[in-house]
Amino acid sequence: EQHPRGTYLFHRGDFGDALYVVLSGQVALELRSGSNAEVLALCAPGDWFGELALLTNGPRTADARVTVDATLLRVSRAGWTELSLRAPKLFARLCERLSRQLRATTEPPRPARRVVIHLGDGAGGGAPWVRELARRLSRQFPTREVHVLGSEGQTADPVPLEGALAKILTPDALILLAGAGAERLADRRLQRRSSCEWTLEPGRGTRNRETIRGTSPEDTLDRVARHLAGGTIGLALGAGGAYGFAHLGLLRVLDRAGIPVDYVGGASMGAIVGSALAAGISAERLIAFAGNIAARFRSLVLRDLDLRGPALLRGTAVMRVLAELEELRTATFESLILPFVAIAMDVRNGEEVLLDTGPVLEGIRPSFAMPGIFPCCVVGERVMVDGAMVNPVPVDRVRDLGADFVIAAQPIPSLHPVAADPVGGLLGRARWIADFLPLRRLRFGIETVDVSVRSFQALWYRLAAAAALGADAIVHPDLREFWFLQFGDATTIIAAGEGAAEAAVPQIRTALAERVGFETVGNAAR
C-alpha cells in the first residue's frame, strides 16, 4: 500500500484488523491528548506495528500517522491465518521475531552480566598484552569496570583471588585472571596462540572452542575484547544481484566510522562479498575490484553464454573472476579470519542449506546459483540453488555464529513501475543483435530472463524485508532506478549504498551503545 505524508492509518480505539510492515518511508506512533501528541516510536523500513490489536482482537492503543511518504505491507487477520497454513516456516520465523519484539517492549533492558576470564599460559609476570587487553576493553566498553587480578606481582593463589573477586561488587564487571591457580574461578579461558590468533573456551552455544583471528595484532586484540565483553558485531549481507554492490559502500562507511565486523553471513551476492570480507580483503580493494569487473562485464557474460544448456550462463566466468582474489582462491571456511556462513536452498525439499565447510569458492557457488541464470549445483545428494529463495538476509544465521549485535544489509528494492534500464547494458545490446540477425532463441531467452528476474525480485523483496526484521540495525539503500543484473554500473550502486550507510551510522552507533555497551572511538569522543 502507498500512503502519502500526513495520512492516519488508524486512531487509538479503532478496531485492529491488520499489522503493518514498513517497506519504505516512516510512520509515527503517537498518543494524543488534546492538541498535544507524544511520539511513542518512529517506525522506519524493516519495522512493524499494529500487532497487539491484531493478535488480541482489541482496540488500537495509539494513533499511526505517516510522516514520510510510505510503502507498507498490510497483513490482515485473514492473511495472517493463511500465512500460517501456506508458509509455516516463514510464519514460524515471523512469530519468533514478533515474540522477541513483544518481550522487548515489556521487559526492562538486561544489564551485561559479570564475566570472569582466565588468561591462560603466558599471561603471568605482567605480560604487556594483558594490560593492553584491559585498555582495549575499557576503550570499547567505557561504562563497564575492568579488573586485572593475578598479574604484575599479584599472587595467583586462588584463596587471595577469591577474596579479591568477592570485593568486586559491580554486576557487569569484566575481570581478567592470570595464573594457573586461577583457572577454576573463571567462566571461560582465553589462550594466546599468536599475536593474530586466540582461542576462547568454551565457545558460544554448543561449541567447545572459538578461534578469534584478525588482520593485525591491534585488530585482533580489539576483537578479543569484544568477544569477552559480549559486544561482537555481525553483518548479514542480503541477496540482490547487482544491487549487492551496495554492500561495498556499506563496508567502506563502517570502516570509516570505526564500526568493526566480527561475524559475517550472506546469501547470493551477499555471500560473494561476505566471503571476501571474511578472508580479510579490505573494502577499498573490493571496490576497486568491483570497478574492474564492471568494466569487463559485457565480455565476461558473452564468453559465459550457454544457449543450449539448462541456464543462460555456465557460471565458470564468475568463478574465474573470483579466483583472481588470491585470499579466496586458497581459502577454506576454516581458515577465514572471520567466521562466515553462506546460504543456499535444496530444491528437492526446499530446505535451507548452510555452507560453512571446505574450500570457500566452491562452497559459496550454490549460494548465487540463481535459477535460469546459473545451473543448479549438485553436491552429493543435494541439488542447490540461490540462497535468496529461502533466507535472503540471514540475520538468524549470523546470530547463530555468535554475534551479539547484527546489522542487516538489505539491497533489494521494490519493483519500479518503469525500470530505468529494463534489460540492462549488455542484454539491451544482445536484444538488438537478436532483432537484427535475427536469433530468435537468443531474443526469447533474454525476454524470459527479464520477466523471471523481475518476478524473483518482487518475491525476494518481501522475503528480505521480513528476514531483516530480526536485526538490531537495517541498512536499506534506495536502488529502484537500477536493474537486478545491471553489473556494469557498479560504481553508481556502490555510491548509493555508501549514502544509505552514512545516513544509518548515527542510529547504529546509538543502538550499539544501548544494546551491548559498545562505543566507537569517534562516538566516545563526543
What CATH number labels 2-105? 2.60.120.10
Q: Please, what sign has the CA dihedral across residues 474, 480, 482, 483?
A: positive
Nearest residue to 45 via CA among 234, 232, 231, 238: 238
pLDDT of amino acid 100: 56
> What is the rounded distance in angstroms from the CA atom of residue 121 to the CA atom of residue 134?
17
Mean pLDDT within 511-521: 90
What CATH number labels 233-516? 3.40.1090.10
Mean pLDDT for the chain?
83
Mean pLDDT within 53-73: 82
pLDDT over 50 at 434, yes or no: no
Q: In the chain, where are the structural domains located?
A: 2-105, 115-229, 233-516
Q: Which residues pair with 115 in a beta bridge?
A: 174
pLDDT in tens, 136-147: 999 999 999 999
pLDDT over 70 at 112, yes or no: no
Q: Give the single-character DSSP code of 263.
A: E
> What is the rounded distance in angstroms from the CA atom of residue 368 to the CA atom of residue 473?
25
Three-class SS state of 499: helix
Q: Are 47 and 20 in contact (CB under 8 A)?
A: no
Nearest residue to 137 via CA among 175, 179, 101: 175
Q: What does the DSSP assignment read for 433-470?
A: HHHHTT-HHHHHHHHHHHHHHHHHHHHHHHHHHHHGGG
pLDDT of amino acid 156: 47
Nearest residue to 337 via CA among 230, 215, 227: 215
pLDDT of amino acid 463: 84
Identify the band that residue 166 occupies on the pLDDT scale cut at 50, 70 and 90: confident
Q: Give the single-character DSSP code of 129.
A: H
Q: Which positions ≥6 away from 254 have C-beta within 8 Å? A: 235, 260, 261, 283, 407, 501
The 10 Å Cβ neighbour count of residue 1 is 12
pLDDT in tens, 411-429: 998 876 544 444 444 444 4
The C-alpha angle with vertex 91 and arms to 86 and 93, in degrees rounded to 5, equals: 145
Q: Are 44 and 26 in contact (CB under 8 A)?
A: yes
pLDDT of amino acid 227: 95
The beta-strand segments (E) located in 256-349 are: 263-267, 340-346
